[in-house]
Amino acid sequence: MAKLILNVFSTIILFLTLTQCNQGVTKTEGKTKKGLQYVIHSKNPTAKKAQDGDFLYFFVTVKNHKDSILQKRQEVKAFELKKDPNDKFYELFTQMKKGDSIIVKEPTENITKESNDMIKKNIDQTRKQIDELKSNKEQKMPDGSGKTMPDSTRNQYIKTLERNIMQAEEQMKQENPMLPKGKMITYIFSVTNVFNKEENTKHIEKEQKEATEKQRIENQKNDEKDAKAIKEYLEKNKLKAEKTASGLYYIIEKEGTGENAKAGNTVAVNYKGQLLNGKVFDTSIKEESEKAGLQQPGRTFEPIKFALGQQMVIKGWDEGITLFKKGGKGILLIPSSLAYGARGAGKDIPPFSPLRFDIELVDIVAEAKQEIPKETPKK
């Protein structure tokens, strides 16, 4: 949004300033040569003004001539101020200081002219494209195939481009109801910070550090919540489970034979997945699907095959399947951090949902390259 506002218009700004002080707020008014009107309210008139290379942080709202919202209040972070002769707002932004509020009124004629100039530019480019199509009989197909464009296709393409030009020319003749002549579009800026390059780098690093810490705390709370939910589930259902360092709980119901599955193996697994409230959301077993009333038309019910340790399934599966041997059966109780986390999975798995999977490791294949997975549990 900021780039649109800053680059769509072009003018040279002449400031005619009038300064008034009222209850500690300085009011500066001005008008550009092309009729751009502005009022700056400064809480701290002695603060440093923005310069080339500085980074602006602000909120912007755009309203139409009826004072209705065209663009809701939107935050713009780290906008780098660079001198641009086509940027009408550049001179205004060099007046900005932290805490400033700025109201800018733009004549609708300015915006209409800029829009028409862009349309004219596109028309010129389209006409050049038509000339190229007419003069170059070896024009290639636009699909990247390298084949020469047939005459019938070229002629049809030219007609389409000519029709586009006619529509664009007609559009310029019509008045945009959103931009009636003699009216104003209003931009409201609220400047929250002005940083030089070094200050901006430190600010971003601080924000990232704070965000990381916030996420760590949130993850810790969710992990604790999931662990509590799983423990309560185990107690309620009288189940005894082992716990891994990652927080994954597992129950071996049938030992199986041979060695445990390991990363690099391709495995075949039958499964049933459900929320801790008992709602089944997916299964590879037809009888379980019918019993749960799942709608899975056209599905082939068979063990799914995938390569372990390749992030083809959720983390809880990549770890949990390695706890089983061929022919082994059991239960995986997976905290949300090892499942679908904050994003959840469609309408069936809400965000931050610990899950239960009843699994059977049907087969282990030594080389992962020998198999291509047909299906995987929902991600």
Please name which of 285, 252, 257 lies closest in space to residue 271, comparing C-alpha atoms: 285
CA-wise closest residue to 52 among 83, 12, 93: 83
Please name the residue ranges forming H helices in the chain.
2-8, 90-93, 108-135, 151-173, 197-236, 286-292, 315-320
Decide if 314 is catalytic.
Answer: yes
79 classed as catalytic: no
The closest of 350, 352, 348, 355 to 296, measured between CA atoms, is 348
- Which long-range contacts does 307-311 make (Cβ < 8 Å, 24+ apart)? 307/264, 307/265, 307/266, 307/368, 307/371, 307/373, 308/261, 308/262, 308/263, 308/264, 308/265, 308/266, 308/267, 308/368, 309/262, 309/263, 309/264, 310/263, 310/368
Same CATH fold assignment for domains 1-202 and 234-370 = yes
At residue 191's C-alpha, the angle toward residues 186 and 194, to 5°, is 140
Tell me the domain boundaries of the chain: 1-202, 234-370
Return the residue matching tokens 């597992």: 250
Partner residues linked to 274 by β-bridges = 280, 356
Of 195, 250, 281, 306, the active-site residue reads 281
Catalytic entry in 93, 249, 324, 357: 357
At 377, the pLDDT band (50, 70, 90 cuts) reads low
CA dist 54 and 180 (Å) reads 36
Task: Confirm whether 281 is a catalytic residue.
Answer: yes
H or E element at residue 41: strand 37-42
Query: Residue 14: CB partners within 8 Å, gap ≥ 6?
Result: 31, 32, 33
What is the biggest distance separating any 2 CA atoms in the chain, rounded to whole angstroms? 88
Alpha-carbon distance of 110 to 286, in angstroms, equals 66
Q: For residue 271, indicate whether it is catalytic.
A: yes
pLDDT band at 378 (very low <50, low <70, confident <90, very high): low
The H-or-E segment that residue 42 falls in is strand 37-42
**Nearest alpha-carbon partner for 345 in 279, 301, 252, 262:** 279
Annotated catalytic residue, options 54, 87, 226, 282: 282
The pLDDT score that the predictor gives to residue 247 is 95
Flag whether pLDDT at 242 surpasses 50.
yes
Mean pLDDT of 243-270: 95
- In sequence order, the 6+-apart residues with CB closer than 8 A to the CB of 255 are 325, 328
Portion of the chain with pLDDT greater than 70, in percent: 90
Residues 36-56: tens digit of each pLDDT: 899 999 988 888 899 999 999
Residue 91 clears pLDDT 90, i.e. is over it:
no
Q: What is the mean pLDDT of the chain?
A: 87
pLDDT per position as a tens digit, 57-71? 999 999 998 999 989
- Taking the whole predicted model, whether its pTM rises above 0.75 is answered as no
pLDDT tens digits, residue range 158-198? 999 999 999 999 998 888 888 899 999 999 999 999 999 99
CATH number belonging to the domain at 1-202, selected among 1.10.940.10, 3.40.720.10, 3.40.50.720, 3.10.50.40: 3.10.50.40
Q: Catalytic residue, from 58, 271, 306, 324: name it.
A: 271
Indicate the CATH number for domain 234-370.
3.10.50.40
Residue of 90, 249, 250, 340 marked active site:
340
The CA-to-CA distance between both ends of the chain, in Å, stands at 33
Catalytic-residue membership of 38: no
- pLDDT above 50 (res 373): no
Mean pLDDT of 130-146: 81
What average pLDDT does the segment 109-129 reach? 92
Please confirm, yes or no, whether 189 is among the known catalytic residues. Answer: no
Q: pLDDT tens digit string along 193-222?
A: 999 999 999 999 999 999 999 999 998 999
In our burial notation (b when 16+ CB lie closer than 10 A, e otherwise), range 158-172 reads: eeeeeeebeeeeeee
How many CA within 13 A on the CB side of residue 378?
21
What is the per-residue pLDDT across 9-23, written as a single tens digit (0 to 9) for each?
Answer: 333 233 333 334 445
Collapsed DSSP state (helix, strand, coil) of residue 47: coil
Distance CA 336, CA 312 (A): 17
Determine the Cα angle at 335 with ends 276 and 345, to 5°: 75
> pLDDT over 90 for what percent of the chain?
64
Report pLDDT for 23.
53
Facing residues of 190 across strands? 59, 101
What is the structure's pLDDT at 44?
86
Report for 137-151, 344-358, 365-379: range of highest mean pLDDT? 344-358
How confident is residue 367, by pLDDT bands cut at 50, 70 and 90?
A: low
Asked if 230 contacts 246 with a C-beta cutoff of 8 angstroms, the reply is no
pLDDT digits 0-9 by tens, 287-334: 999 999 998 788 889 999 999 999 999 999 999 999 999 999 999 999
List Cβ neighbours of 66 (8 Å cut-off, separation of 6 or more). none
